[in-house]
Amino acid sequence: MIAEPARGSVHVELTSVSKRFGSTQAADGVSLAVRRGTIHALVGENGAGKSTVGKIVAGLYASDSGSVAVNGRAVRFRSPWHALDAGITSIAQELALVPDRTVVDNVFLGVESVRWGCVRPRESHRRFRALADRTGIHVDPAARVGDLSVADQQRVEILRAVARRTELVVMDEPSARLSVSERSQLHRLVRSLRDQGITVLFISHFLDEVLALADEVTIMRDGRVVRTTAPAAETADSLVEAMIGRELDATFPPKPASPDCTATPALSVRGLRCAGSAGADPSTGLDLDVAAGEIVGIAGLVGSGRTEFLRAVYGADPAEGGEVMVGSQPLRGARPDQAIRVGVGLIPESRKDHGLLMERSVRENVSLPHLGRVARAGIVSRSAERRLVRAANTDAGVRDGGMETPMRLLSGGNQQKCLFARWLVPGLRVLIADEPTRGVDVGSKRAIYDLIASAASEGLAVLVVSSELEELVGLCHRILVMRDARFVAEFTHPDLDETELLRHAFGEAPVSEAM
């Protein structure tokens, strides 16, 4: 590059860019200018087209029509390599690292220091140190990437981008999988990238984050740009209104009437010891009762043992000891099918890895645990199955009746509703939901809260884990705080307070760390 273009000049410009997938118009005449050396946020509901735009900029998708210009010159990326050549890197939601190689190997993958065809480890380490000093990102260079936390893996990806002399980084939902304290570290890092002159296209669901971080915000709806503005001119509410095209209803549904906690609990856990939960005192286990009609939340940092607890209750992983009772029936062994038989359903943390069969239809995904009900002598009755699925989908508010649509074509919100639909069948007694609104757009969030509240008012015992404390406070009758695989505090409605929850979740650590 001969002369460094000035900060604030247009770095990437999209003009009337459109992209279609099957019958979905993912981007519809999008025009957008990203200025050099700024943090430019893209917000919108799931399916609004923000990821599509990010992928077109990064060369992962080719647009059907319209033009893309980098530094004023029209480009047509046919692969991510072309984008890399133009100084553009993307850091996707699902990180793309080689887990079995070290941090250094990953950072310099494809741009190794080589002499006579051999990698020069000492030179690589020298370059790595220089890079770490320049960016202020410190990760153990010899660590195996697969052993790192998600946050550290993300830092490795950022280092990799910088090592390639990237001028623009597309970050797609970088904070979705981070804990609260990790998020604030990420924010510092993104700001420091900008201060070094790197342009950041920042795609996020977290509006507070966007308002605090971005220099410019582009709001998208239904594949179109609603407007591009300065965050100072916006509030979280104004963003949401623009994203969903109407005023947002109250964020949370009214809580169902407080349940009768004197009756036999629907779910009763005694002395449960989860396998592999570090720091757990082996002599005691976890106790928990959930009454029919009660919504109980579990708060805690990522790694506090929340997910392990839920999975042990459901029988997804073997417990090392303890007892789980559903009504008066004990659950034994690591057998999800037995949990389902006595009326327990789990909505797992990761839809894609643990929840859904992406290649199969909505119908097959929803009916999967209940085929025994619609089969005679092992032969599935298609009409009975369709009735079951139609009723469940209606209850869960799964949009459009395309029961035969492959799951992968649905938006994140609709996929999550399908997971709810799977358990909205007669006979369910306990619903366990791990991060039920992760990666879900604002409009669908409210729908999911409604589903949880209505499930409880119909007499289900509901157990929810969430990293979003506001969500737990808004939904639950009772919240337990988990730290080091133990319950350290319990709060009951109406004494639910986010700051108090955080204080217990962090233990002695200062609360100011969190956002």
Partner 1 sequence: MHRLNVLARFGIVWVTLALFVVLAVTTDGFLTAPNLRNVLDQQATLLIAASVATLAMIAGGFDVSIAAIAVVAPLVALRVENATGSVLLALVAGCAFGLAVGLANGSIVAFARINSFITTLAMSFIVFGLGYIVSERSILRPVSENFRDIARTRVLSLTTATWISLAVVVVAWVALAGTRFGRHVYATGGNAEAARLAGVRTRRIVVAVFALSGLAAGLAGVVAASRTISATPSDDFSFVFGVIAAIVVGGTSIAGGTGAVWRTLLGAFFIAFMVNGFNLHQVDPIWQRVIQGVVILVAVAADAWSRSRRA
Q: Residues in the site for partner 1, rule: CB under 8 A? A: 20-23, 61, 314, 316, 336-337, 339-341, 346, 348, 353-360, 364, 367-369, 371-372, 375, 378-380, 422
Report d(CA 117, CA 201) in Å as an integer. 36
Q: Which residues pair with 17 in a beta bridge?
A: 30
Cβ 343 to partner 1 shortest distance, Å = 12
Question: Regarding beta strands 461-465 and 295-300, do their DSSP bridges make them parallel or antiparallel, or are they unpaired?
Answer: parallel
- 10 vs 409, beta carbon nearer partner 1: 409
- 125 vs 354, beta carbon nearer partner 1: 354
- 152 vs 385, beta carbon nearer partner 1: 385
Cβ 357 to partner 1 shortest distance, Å = 4
Cβ 459 to partner 1 shortest distance, Å = 22
Cβ 264 to partner 1 shortest distance, Å = 25
- 64 vs 123, beta carbon nearer partner 1: 64
- 64 vs 320, beta carbon nearer partner 1: 64
Cβ 281 to partner 1 shortest distance, Å = 28
In this structure, what token pair is assigned to residue 248? 């947002």
CA dihedral 267, 486, 180, 294 (to 10 degrees): 20
Report d(CA 171, CA 155) in Å as an integer. 12
- 21 vs 138, beta carbon nearer partner 1: 21
- 354 vs 503, beta carbon nearer partner 1: 354
Cβ 22 to partner 1 shortest distance, Å = 6
Cβ 448 to partner 1 shortest distance, Å = 19
- 4 vs 359, beta carbon nearer partner 1: 359
How distant, in Å, are the alpha carbons of 215, 269, 417, 510 from that of 173?
17, 35, 20, 26
Report d(CA 66, CA 18) in Å as an integer. 6
288 neighbors 480 (Cβ within 8 angstroms): yes
C-alpha R_g of the chain: 24
Question: Regarding beta strands 286-290 and 267-274, do their DSSP bridges make them parallel or antiparallel, or are they unpaired?
Answer: antiparallel
Q: Which residues pair with 270 in a beta bridge?
A: 323
What is the 3-state secondary structure of 122-155? HHHHHHHHHHHHHHCCCCCCCCEHHHCCHHHHHH
In this structure, what token pair is assigned to residue 172? 């797609």
Q: Report phi then psi at 12, rounded to 5.
A: -125, 135
Report d(CA 294, CA 29) in Å as an integer. 47
Read off the amino acid at residue 418: C
Cβ 410 to partner 1 shortest distance, Å = 14
- 432 vs 479, beta carbon nearer partner 1: 432
CA angle 38–151–311, rounded 5-degree value:
135
Report d(CA 97, CA 105) in Å as an integer. 10
Report d(CA 228, CA 198) in Å as an integer. 20
Cβ 364 to partner 1 shortest distance, Å = 6
